[in-house]
């Protein structure tokens, strides 16, 4: 079986089996590759085998489409059949091509070379790299042609669409029964009509700006209801003009950025009388040189032993062309333009081969054409790579070999530039380069005329295609068997489909460009030694946690999903960080919760006890679960409190699996989104705790339903789970899938919708929340807290391909016109974690480099940490930090501790504690990452504070070991699935007189939602050990809730 890196990404083969576990029923997704499996094809359609598609023209040239998420054999065949084509072919997993004939040079190939899974059905094969899975209807359809006249209209030519408008903009229609005759009738009151994309019809009296003549071959789609005639193509129209209103097309074809190089040749035969038998108005244009830079007329007719100048001209006229050329006696060529820099022969007597059908005439000669036309021919110079008019800083770099066999498996073909953007009929170097640059890539490659790829110049030496296996024994990345080589420019000889005067690669050849400006597009800092931070083992674990949270006692709670862990586990534990050297003293085993916290939400309440809460879960009663824990004990002394719940009397209003929760500005608990369970329907609602309805024993929660329907969650299911939410002055900010909006905090209606988040460079539909899981944080806020809050979203993945995203995006949602800033990360990440540090930087770590979130759905663990510093210039904010040896995949977490380190835990890639062979292990080890500020050798400041219960805007005195300090406040975080619930980073105003200091609490609940925060004192970048303080009190009186037996209540009032 031959796979490409792209196909392997889409295959998503899962090697673990959890059929006996409850988790397997819920989350495991299978994509089973069955090479050679064919669909239930319609009518008489049959599979013809695997065919090559690497010649100078497409094997099937009648049109087609790409679909990265839903391509199947059936959908491709249906598309081609509905457009009246006799052949259909699937290629490269997500491409579909149609035609009525197989191109010369295409041959049958080894069936194993057509084994890439279809993007929309992993049980079907959809071709391979430069290989078509070919299907045939059983019909033989004559090649389409252009009729010279249709009623009152004559053939004009192939015309491009206009710039930001329709070429013919007066009126239009579309029909599955479209023909040029039908369009002529519809447009009978207009000077021009044009058919496009097989079934569209446009009318007008003139062309809109930007519409220019194109090659006749660019209008290559058969009409929907008559495949014997052409009806344009994508962004191209087959145009006819009303008799007497216009001349045949004669304007030039411009480039994407500059005029075409074009000449008008002088006729040498205009004085001679026109022989009889020619179309009206056709005259001799002389003897021309052919083949010096390729064919000068591109539509060759069948050789004829009765060929004459007249019959050749009449043939071309009948096909709708305005130029005929006779060569070598028996050959006849047609076109509307002269290409490849064609020129008149210096010796007009070179055309000296007699026409076999009229020996008194000469029909060209070897490499010479006798040309006739109805006007002076327009001449296009020979195409070449675009070297002027490029985006600033970019330069042509040459012709580069592509699709390189991998060293690990020669059957695997590696794309040099890993991101394929498109395969379109309007491809230009300028458009390709601009998209690559926007996403931070410094290399752009164009292939096969119609394809655009993005990557880095370094990809010539270092491949960037991740392995897709979930087996840790397989290599994580493919490498080149032999690095790609620079090839002669002549091997990149395919014209760009959107700018035929330029060359855009060829089969397995890239015309490539690189960014050479003085200031690079991005700079990743590469600190070494202690400046890179350090991973170290904290302690061996007793559980693979789902949620971690440092309590206000300093101890860390670990909560695990039920049913798939160690048989003697309870799913709830507490770690005393002061007892790390004494394993039994460090860990406290807590009582197992009554309901399952599997994929629940969690955070710290603002009550004076700092209770922790989890809501939702899996399944049944657990979907409605509400669980509370009052942290107790002290350093070195184990607590006795347990998780408390009452599944009968304290429940959510609706089932929620993968929800998110927070404390609102008014102190209420807001719970958003989730699924009903078992990968079932979306739960596109929000609700409040304590419940706001009236008692109602007929409901599962015991209260009347007061949930709020959120249409945007319904619309974006299932990729919006564990949405990221936070409080902003204008309401509640919600980040979900690839969208962001603000909803009112009273009625929860939308008050602002942001532009969609950018996704991957090749997939704008890439997502950032489960199961395309990235990570989101709020950026630092500074006194006086009047600037808009910024957010940072990193990593994620794409639908279908499961290609992990390699960028972060940021914006200020409450700005007047928010825009997204894109910054490249040093590597791809799906399922990352992000932790805000006391100095205002952010640690990005963990996750995989391919796949999506879920059991067995990701691989190539990302073992590197990245530090993001928002105070540095854009595209210079990321530093490549230390590596770990411990993979952290699905169900892993990261939280910042009071001592300034980041605790890293979890990894539950299979959901099976037995660690099935060939899979990444369930990870019990707990690590810490020590940032550089703890390794510099600088003394850590200390501070003493008497007041740990702050009101908004008040001044709080404390004593510091040194002056010249800053204070930071980090919200208490509950970490799960890349979502840091409760996260916030604030830098309040602080003044010092010597070592006596005063900090001013943030002004209100919208700048700083009520809750518990870790306070740090910083001397430069070096933080003290933090202390928990409460800010904003308990405005929702949660300390008195829930007033039910079995729940100890801390009450309200001061801490």
Instruction: List, for residues 537-546, the tens digit of each pLDDT value.
Output: 999 999 999 9
Task: Let me know how long the chain is.
Answer: 1055
CATH code, domain carrying 712: 2.130.10.80
CATH code, domain carrying 995: 2.60.40.10
Nearest to 710 by CA among 689, 739, 679, 690: 739
For residue 498, is it within any domain?
no
- Exposure letters 23-41 (e unless 16+ CB within 10 A, then b): bbebbbeeeebeeebbbeb
Give the DSSP letter string of 160-194: E-BTTB-SS-SEEEE-TT--HHHHHHHTTTSSEEE
How far apart (Å, rounded) are the C-alpha atoms in residues 667 and 669?
7
With vertex at residue 1015, the alpha carbon angle to CA 1010 and CA 1018, rounded to the nearest 5 degrees, is 145
Judgement on whether residues 922 and 1024 belong to the same structural domain of the protein: no
Position 36 confidence tier, pLDDT thresholds 50, 70, 90:
very low
Query: Which of 903, 934, 965 is a domain's end point?
Result: 934
Nearest to 513 by CA among 390, 357, 658: 390
Instruction: Summarize the confidence of residues 861-876 as an average pLDDT.
Output: 98
Dihedral angle at the C-alpha atoms of 486, 826, 931, 773, nearest 10 degrees?
Answer: -150
Judgement on whether residues 995 and 925 belong to the same structural domain of the protein: no
Share of the chain above pLDDT 70, in %: 92
Structure confidence by residue, pLDDT tens digits, 398-412? 999 999 999 988 888
Listed in sequence order, the DSSP H helices in 21-94 are 22-27, 73-82
For residue 123, is it within any domain?
yes
Structure confidence by residue, pLDDT tens digits, 688-732? 999 988 888 788 777 788 999 999 999 999 999 999 999 999 999
**Residue 698 CB burial class (10 angstroms; 0-12, 13-18, ≥19):** exposed
With vertex at residue 408, the alpha carbon angle to CA 407 and CA 410, rounded to the nearest 5 degrees, is 65
Structure confidence by residue, pLDDT tens digits, 255-295? 333 333 334 444 333 333 334 589 999 999 999 999 887 78
Cβ atoms of 956 and 1031 closer than 8 Å: no
Check whether 1034 has a pLDDT greater than 80. yes
How far apart (Å, rounded) are the C-alpha atoms in residues 772 and 795?
9
Domain that holds residue 953: 943-1040
Judgement on whether residues 667 and 704 belong to the same structural domain of the protein: yes
Judgement on whether residues 294 and 327 belong to the same structural domain of the protein: yes
User: What is the DSSP-derived secondary structure letter of residue 216?
Assistant: G
Cα–Cα distance list, 804 to 132, 717, 773, 868, 890 (Å)? 27, 19, 9, 19, 14
Check whether 315 has a pLDDT greater than 70. yes
Judgement on whether residues 620 and 703 belong to the same structural domain of the protein: yes
Position 178 confidence tier, pLDDT thresholds 50, 70, 90:
very high
Query: Which of 78, 113, 136 is a domain's end point?
Result: 136
How far apart (Å, rounded) are the C-alpha atoms in residues 380 and 1028?
74
User: What is the DSSP-derived secondary structure letter of residue 151?
Assistant: T
For residue 806, is it within any domain?
yes
Q: Which of 86-90, 150-154, 186-190, 663-667 has the highest mean pLDDT?
A: 663-667
Judgement on whether residues 716 and 633 belong to the same structural domain of the protein: yes
Judgement on whether residues 218 and 295 belong to the same structural domain of the protein: no
Q: How many domains does the structure of the chain reveal?
A: 6
Cα–Cα distance list, 247 to 183, 218, 238, 240, 374 (Å)? 20, 20, 15, 10, 10
Check whether 34 has a pLDDT greater than 60. no
Judgement on whether residues 656 and 751 belong to the same structural domain of the protein: yes
Instruction: Summarize the confidence of residues 895-920 as an average pLDDT.
Output: 92
Query: Which of 320, 349, 380 is a domain's end point?
Result: 380
Cβ atoms of 260 and 380 closer than 8 Å: yes
Cβ atoms of 605 and 1037 closer than 8 Å: no
Check whether 755 has a pLDDT greater than 70. yes
Is residue 434 within a helix (H) or strand (E), and if so which, with residue range? helix 429-438
For residue 422, is it within any domain?
yes
Cα–Cα distance list, 22 to 27, 546, 560 (Å)? 9, 16, 14
Judgement on whether residues 824 and 872 belong to the same structural domain of the protein: yes
Judgement on whether residues 925 and 951 belong to the same structural domain of the protein: no
Check whether 893 has a pLDDT greater than 90. yes
Nearest to 791 by CA among 855, 726, 743, 845: 726
Judgement on whether residues 961 and 909 belong to the same structural domain of the protein: no
For residue 256, is it within any domain?
no
Judgement on whether residues 949 and 929 belong to the same structural domain of the protein: no
Position 917 confidence tier, pLDDT thresholds 50, 70, 90:
confident
Q: For residue 228, what pLDDT is reported? A: 80
Tokens of 1006: 């919208």
Cα–Cα distance list, 899 to 187, 516, 578, 743, 934 (Å)? 77, 44, 11, 36, 9
Euclidean distance between the first and final Cα of the chain, in Å? Answer: 67
For residue 24, is it within any domain?
yes
The set of residues, in sequence order, having a beta carbon less than 8 Å from that of 873 and lying 6+ positions away, is none
For residue 360, is it within any domain?
yes
Structure confidence by residue, pLDDT tens digits, 81-107? 888 889 999 998 888 998 888 876 788
pTM of the model: 0.73
Q: For residue 269, what pLDDT is reported? A: 37
How far apart (Å, rounded) are the C-alpha atoms in residues 52 and 59?
7
How far apart (Å, rounded) are the C-alpha atoms in residues 464 and 479?
8
For residue 511, is it within any domain?
no
Lowest-confidence region among 55-64, 493-502, 913-922: 55-64
């Amino acid at each position: 079986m031959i796979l490409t890196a792209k196909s392997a990404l889409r295959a998503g083969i899962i090697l673990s089996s959890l059929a006996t576990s409850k988790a397997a029923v819920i989350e495991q997704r299978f994509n089973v590759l069955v090479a050679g499996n064919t669909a239930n094809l319609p009518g008489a359609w049959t599979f013809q085998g695997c065919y090559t598609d690497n010649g100078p023209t497409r094997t099937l040239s009648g049109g087609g489409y790409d679909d990265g998420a839903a391509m199947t054999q059936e959908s491709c065949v249906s598309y081609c059949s509905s457009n009246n084509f006799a052949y259909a072919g699937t290629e490269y997993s997500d491409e579909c091509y149609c035609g009525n004939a197989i191109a010369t040079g295409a041959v049958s190939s080894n069936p194993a070379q057509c084994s890439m899974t279809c993007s929309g059905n992993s049980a079907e094969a959809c071709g391979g790299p430069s290989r078509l899975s070919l299907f045939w209807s059983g019909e033989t359809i004559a090649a389409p042609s252009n009729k010279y006249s249709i009623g009152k209209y004559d053939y004009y030519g192939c015309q491009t669409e206009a710039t930001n408008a329709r070429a013919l903009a007066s009126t239009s229609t579309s029909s599955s029964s479209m023909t040029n005759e039908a369009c002529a009738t519809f447009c009978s009151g207009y000077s021009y009509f044009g058919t496009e994309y097989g079934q569209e019809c446009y009318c007008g009296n003139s062309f809109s700006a930007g519409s220019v003549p194109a090659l006749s071959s660019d209008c290559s789609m058969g009409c929907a209801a008559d495949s014997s005639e052409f009806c344009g193509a994508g962004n191209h129209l087959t145009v006819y003009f009303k008799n007497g209103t216009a001349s045949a097309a004669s304007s030039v074809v411009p480039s994407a950025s500059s005029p075409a190089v074009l000449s008008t040749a002088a006729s040498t035969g205009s004085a001679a009388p026109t022989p009889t038998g020619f179309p009206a108005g056709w005259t001799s244009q002389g003897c021309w040189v052919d083949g010096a830079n390729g064919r000068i007329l591109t539509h060759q007719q069948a050789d004829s032993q009765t060929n004459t100048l007249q019959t050749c001209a009449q043939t071309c006229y009948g096909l709708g062309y305005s130029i005929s050329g006779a060569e070598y006696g028996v050959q006849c060529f047609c076109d509307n333009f002269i290409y490849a820099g064609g020129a008149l022969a210096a010796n007009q007597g070179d055309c000296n081969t007699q026409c076999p059908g009229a020996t008194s005439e000469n029909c060209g000669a070897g490499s010479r054409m006798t040309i006739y036309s109805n006007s002076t021919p327009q001449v296009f110079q020979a195409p070449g790579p675009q070297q002027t008019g490029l985006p600033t800083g970019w330069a042509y770099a040459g012709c580069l070999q592509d699709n390189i066999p991998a060293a690990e498996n020669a059957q695997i073909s590696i794309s040099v530039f890993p991101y394929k953007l498109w395969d379109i009929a309007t491809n230009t170097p300028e458009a390709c380069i601009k998209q690559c640059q926007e996403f931070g890539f410094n290399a752009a490659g164009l292939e096969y005329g119609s394809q655009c790829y993005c990557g880095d110049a370094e990809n010539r030496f270092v491949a960037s295609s991740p392995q897709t296996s979930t087996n840790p024994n397989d290599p994580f990345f493919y490498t080149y068997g032999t690095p790609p080589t620079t090839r002669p420019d002549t091997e990149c000889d395919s014209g760009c489909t959107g700018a035929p005067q330029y060359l855009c690669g060829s089969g397995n050849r890239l015309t490539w460009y690189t960014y050479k400006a003085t200031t690079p597009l991005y700079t990743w800092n590469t600190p070494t030694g202690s400046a890179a931070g350090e991973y170290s083992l904290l302690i061996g674990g007793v559980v693979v946690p789902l949620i971690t949270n440092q309590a206000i006692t300093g101890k860390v709670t670990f909560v695990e999903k039920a049913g798939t862990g160690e048989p003697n586990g309870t799913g709830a534990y507490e770690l005393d960080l002061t007892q790390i050297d004494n394993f039994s003293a460090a860990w406290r085993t807590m009582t197992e919760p009554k309901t399952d916290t599997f994929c629940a939400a969690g955070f710290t309440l603002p009550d004076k006890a700092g209770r922790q809460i989890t809501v939702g879960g899996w399944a049944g009663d657990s979907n409605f679960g509400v669980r509370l824990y009052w942290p107790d004990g002290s350093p070195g002394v184990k607590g006795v409190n347990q998780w408390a719940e009452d599944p009968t009397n304290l429940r959510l209003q609706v089932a929620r699996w993968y929800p998110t929760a927070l404390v609102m500005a008014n102190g209420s608990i807001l719970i958003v989104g989730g699924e009903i369970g078992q990968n079932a329907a979306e739960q596109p609602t929000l609700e409040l705790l304590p419940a706001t309805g009236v008692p109602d024993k007929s409901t599962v929660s015991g209260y009347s339903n007061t949930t709020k329907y959120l249409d945007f969650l319904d619309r974006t299911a299932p990729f919006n789970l564990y949405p990221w939410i936070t409080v902003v002055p204008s309401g509640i900010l919600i980040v979900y899938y690839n969208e962001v909006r603000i909803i009112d905090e009273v009625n929860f209606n939308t008050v602002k919708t942001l532009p969609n988040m950018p996704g991957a460079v090749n997939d704008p539909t890439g997502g950032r929340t489960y199961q395309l899981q990235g990570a989101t944080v709020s950026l630092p806020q500074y006194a006086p807290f009047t600037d808009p809050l910024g957010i940072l979203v990193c990593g994620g993945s794409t639908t279908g391909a499961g290609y992990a995203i390699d960028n972060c995006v940021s914006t200020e949602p409450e700005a007047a016109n928010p825009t997204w800033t894109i910054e490249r990360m040093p590597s791809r990440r799906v399922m990352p974690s992000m932790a805000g540090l006391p100095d205002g930087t952010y640690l990005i770590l963990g996750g995989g480099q391919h796949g999506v979130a879920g059991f067995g759905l990701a691989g190539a663990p990302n073992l590197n940490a990245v530090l993001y510093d928002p105070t540095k210039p854009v595209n210079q904010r990321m530093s490549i930090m230390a590596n770990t040896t411990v993979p952290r995949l699905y169900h892993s977490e990261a939280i910042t501790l009071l001592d300034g380190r980041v605790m890293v835990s979890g990894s539950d890639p299979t959901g099976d504690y037995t660690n099935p062979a060939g899979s990444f292990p369930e990870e019990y080890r707990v690590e810490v990452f020590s940032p550089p500020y703890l390794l510099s050798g600088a003394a850590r400041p200390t501070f003493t504070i008497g007041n740990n219960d702050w009101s908004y805007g008040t001044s709080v005195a404390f004593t510091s070991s040194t002056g010249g300090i800053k204070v930071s406040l980090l919200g208490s975080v509950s970490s799960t699935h890349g979502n840091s619930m409760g996260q916030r980073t604030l830098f309040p105003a602080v003044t010092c007189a010597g070592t006596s200091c005063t900090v001013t609490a943030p002004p209100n609940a919208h700048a700083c939602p009520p809750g518990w925060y870790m306070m740090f004192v910083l001397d430069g970048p070096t933080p003290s050990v933090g202390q928990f303080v409460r800010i904003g009190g308990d405005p929702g009186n949660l300390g008195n809730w829930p007033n039910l037996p079995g729940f100890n209540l801390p009450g309200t009032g001061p801490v």
